[in-house]
Structure 1
Amino acid sequence: MTDQRRAVLSAAEQALNAGDLFSRVSAGLRRLVPFHSAVWTAADPETGLITAPMLVENVGSGEGCYAYWESELLEENIVPFRELARATVPAAGLRAATGGLPARSARFRRLLLGQGVHDELRAVLRIGGRPWGLVSLFRTTDAFRPDEIALMAGLSRPLAACLRGFARPPESASRTDAPAPGLILFDASGEAMSANDEARQHIALLPKGPSFPTALGLKLPIWVVGTAFQARAVGEGRAHHGNARVRIRTTEGRWLACHASCLTGPGGSPGPVALVIEPAAPADLAVLVAEAYGLTSRELQITQLIARGMNTSEIAAALFISPHTVRDHLKAVFAKARVSSRGELVGRLFAEHYWPALPGRVPR
């Protein structure tokens, strides 16, 4: 490990949460890779869409942030995050990627150039093929050098591992009731045109971050707006894969699922977007919790069967493995979840995190 990487990761190890991680790493990285402004955001590991928290440094007004993510999801750009997430190297400089012609990117022409940006270095923080964070660094003079891009790429996996750990739900979740599903409708131009009271209640529980006023008197966080953008992209045929779905953690430590779809307008044209925000169901959180605790797919299977009340022999028969193998997997799960019994395991991964908002529902 180079001294540069070690310095940045040392700062990351002191972080208390994802937001603190972004602040510490950004400050440490700025001394090694100078930049004028930056955007650091968590990402949903299944869809790659932005989620809380987000750190925006010297980017300007909220409208600029709105336009940045609108361009990312609805325009043709060079090295979009969705492609960078699958690339061999998870970091790229805009000028390097365009052969010194950044104006090939709609994002640069429409937004960055007018803000005095000379180059953008973006990276996906990923581990195991899943993106946990997205980073954009902006420089007003000089292009990002190959060694600077390589440094950012080398930080991708270790920083993603930190973010994955912070995604782990708290050991004692709030048991207060949560509102029923909320609904927000956006017109064909992307303006919010109606919302129910439940949506307002859910949004009030979301952490602070870039948000945008609407004619409804409701400020919508960028994570909600971004999900609506993705639904529009799918409806307009701009996104050929992926869905408009993201998990967002509330200030109470619980998880909400935000998902949107583009309705059909007259003549089959894309119409309004309907967005639902509601307490996350077990299916919404299974992969997220498994990844946060470092469970393998087999360990997650066994844990889910335990939550259904199955004993070792029944699990072995269902998965076509030996009881001894089940016990070995279960031992590993206990160590990762820091529990010593099946009851503790179900309480830690399921009762506390999957159903805190559904009083009276008890897992078998």
Structure 2
Amino acid sequence: MSDTHRRAEVLSAHAKVLSGAERATDTRELFGRTSAKLRRLMPFDSAVWAATDPETGLITAPMLVENLGSGEGCSAYWESELLEEDVLPFRDLARAVVPAAGLRAVTGDLPARSARFRRLLGSQGVDDELRAVLRVDDRPWAVVSLFRMHGGAPFGPAETTLLAGLSGPLALLIRRFARPSASAAGTDVPAPGLVLFDSSGEPTSINEEARQHLSQLPQGPSIPSQLGLRLPIWVVATAHQARAIAQGRERTGRARVRIRTVDGRWLICHASCLSGLAGRPGPVALVIEPVAAADRAVIIADAYGLTPRELEITQLITRGLPTSEIASTLFISPHTVRDHVKAVFGKMEVSSRGELVARLFAEHYRPSASKSGRLPRRMDRAGSRPDVRVS
């Protein structure tokens, strides 16, 4: 078969998969549609599709698990991913030239070289795993694992190429679904919540605020606990990441993930490992709370594909700075500022600074506005220039 014919086949396969994905109305539906289309082109027995926080790469909601075991097994899978040295971790795939690879291919057809295979996959009947990171602009928006059970052929180069080629297009769709909506406005939220985990990762204590936050998270894989509730796998994985950092296994990452609630609000989970007696690792403290204004702006910037410089300029706009002051602050020319502002307007589908500020903040501060009859002070100042043009 000629290279031209192979490329044509791959493009045709991509079009078939994406035709279903583009009709999805949210990320979970996208996962389901993509998995069903993909299975017809490259058979697999089980799959895990998980959204990730584009800032840290940690898993977040939603997650789709097909034909696999219980939440306890899911927890062990992510614990292995974060706490064991292994081949083919997602963090490496996120930076790889090709963001997909098969376990048998990278181990020379000796999957037992993988700690994950030895401890989990082999005993569950898995013969091969094909992994990918769905990314755009070097930001990971989801991860996927496809599994073939005993008796199936290993994933081949053509199948790896097919999945890798879907990485960018699918990530763009997921990024679009991450855009905030006004449906979250007007909802009162509790204060920060706290969950404590012991040094082995078992949850041992929780406050009422954390229970309230957890009750608002989407359905998905979870594990039972002695606290009288099931803990979502995204929360448990964040605690695992804190342990990995404390053990020196993760030197650059952070135990921090943003999760969208069922009513469209954003919460942030961040965890750290406390010190125990004689310097030994102690419990993990995990805080779950509403995102702060700065984090909300970053979420929106990620969702609309703003560059770091465009985000800087957007944040200065929200502070009410005119073009000349933005240029002076960033040591660039006013003309360059105007070019960046035009790019921001195009990506965020607005036509004025006032609309931009409203999209960033106003729709998501209505609880405060409804109580006081006005926008927060920062909004008053930033939003007082609704008619300022790009120039």
- Scaled to the shorter chain, the TM-score interval is over 0.9
1:318–1:168 Cα change, 3 Å:
same
Residues 357/59 of structure 1: CA separation in 2 closer, same or farther (3 Å cut) = farther
TM-score by length of 1: 0.96
* AA aligned opposite 2:320: G
* Correspondence 1:217 to 2:217: no
Distance in 2 (alpha carbons) for counterparts of 1:173 and 1:324:
37
Q: Aligned partners of 2:368, 2:81: CA distance in 1, in Å?
A: 36
Q: Answer yes or no: is the 8 Å Cα contact 1:279–1:357 preserved in 2.
A: no
Query: Aligned pair 1:228/2:258, yes or no?
Result: no
For 1:201, the equivalent position in structure 2 comes to: 212
Distance 2:350 2:277 in 1: 56
Q: Runs of at least 4 residues of structure 1 off by over 6 A?
A: none
1:358, 1:213 → 2: CA distance?
36
Partners of 1:33 and 1:357 lie apart in 2 by: 48
Does the Cα contact within 8 Å between 2:57 and 2:140 map onto a contact in 1?
Answer: yes
SS at match of 2:68: coil
Residue identity opposite 1:339 in structure 2: V
Is the CA contact (8 Å cut-off) linking 1:40 and 1:134 kept in structure 2? Answer: yes
Q: Which moved more, 1:343-352 or 1:90-99?
A: 343-352
Quote the offset at 1:189 in angstroms.
1.4
3-state SS of 1:243 partner:
coil
Map of 1:348-359 to 2, 5 A cutoff?
A: 348-353=359-364, 355=365, 358=368
Task: Indicate conservation of the 8 Å contact 1:171/1:348, yes or no.
Answer: no
- Structure 2 CA distance for aligned equivalents of residues 82 and 313 of structure 1: 41
Match of 2:92 among 77, 83, 100: 83
Q: What do the CA deviations read for 1:24-59 (whole angstroms, capped 9, x no partner)? A: 000000001100000000001111100000000001
TM-score of the superposed pair, with normalisation by structure 2: 0.90
Q: 1:172 to 1:252 in 2, by over 3 A?
A: closer
Count of aligned pairs: 363
Picking from 303, 307, 310, the partner of 2:321 is 310
Aligned to 1:270: 281
Contact 1:132-1:164 at 8 Å conserved across structures: yes
Deviations along 1:78-108, whole A, 9 cap, x unmatched? Answer: 1011111111111010000100110111111
For 2:22 and 2:249, locate their aligned partners in 1 and report how far apart those are by CA, in whole Å: 39
Does residue 338 (structure 1) correspond to residue 349 (structure 2)? The answer is yes
Task: Identify if the C-alpha distance between structure 1 residues 194 and 157 changes in structure 2 by more than 3 Å, giving closer, same or farther.
Answer: same
Aligned to 2:261: 250
Q: CA deviation at 1:289?
A: 1.4
Question: Which whole-Å CA distance do the structure 1 matches of 2:287 and 2:230 have between them?
Answer: 16
Contact 1:22/1:40 (CA < 8 Å) preserved in 2? Answer: yes
Moved more, 68-77 or 256-265: 68-77
User: What's 1:130 paired with?
Assistant: 139
Q: Does 1:37 align with 2:46?
A: yes
Give the distance between the partners of 1:204 and 1:189, measured in 2 at CA.
25
2:70 corresponds to which of 53, 61, 65: 61
For residues 233 and 309 of structure 2, the distance between their equivalents in structure 1, rounded to whole angstroms, comes to 35
Q: In the TM superposition, what is the alpha-carbon distance from 1:286 to its structure 2 partner?
A: 3.3
Structural RMSD (CA): 1.4
Distance in structure 2 (CA, Å) of the matches to 1:250 and 1:55: 16
SS at match of 1:352: helix
Identity rate, percent: 69
Match of 2:389 in 1: none
Cα displacement string for residues 137-174 of structure 1 (whole angstroms, at most 9, x for unaligned residues): 00011100110011111111111111111111114532
Query: In the alignment, is the contact (CA less than 8 A) between 1:124 and 1:134 conserved in 2?
Result: yes
Q: Higher Cα Rg: structure 1 or 2?
A: 2
In the alignment, the residues of structure 1 paired with residue 87 and residue 319 of structure 2 have an alpha-carbon distance, to the nearest angstrom, of 47
Q: Which runs of 5+ in 2 are unaligned?
A: 1-9, 382-391
In the alignment, structure 1 residue 19 sits paired with structure 2 residue 28: yes
Distance 1:233 1:326, change over 3 A: same
Distance in 2, Cα, partners of 1:285 & 1:101: 45
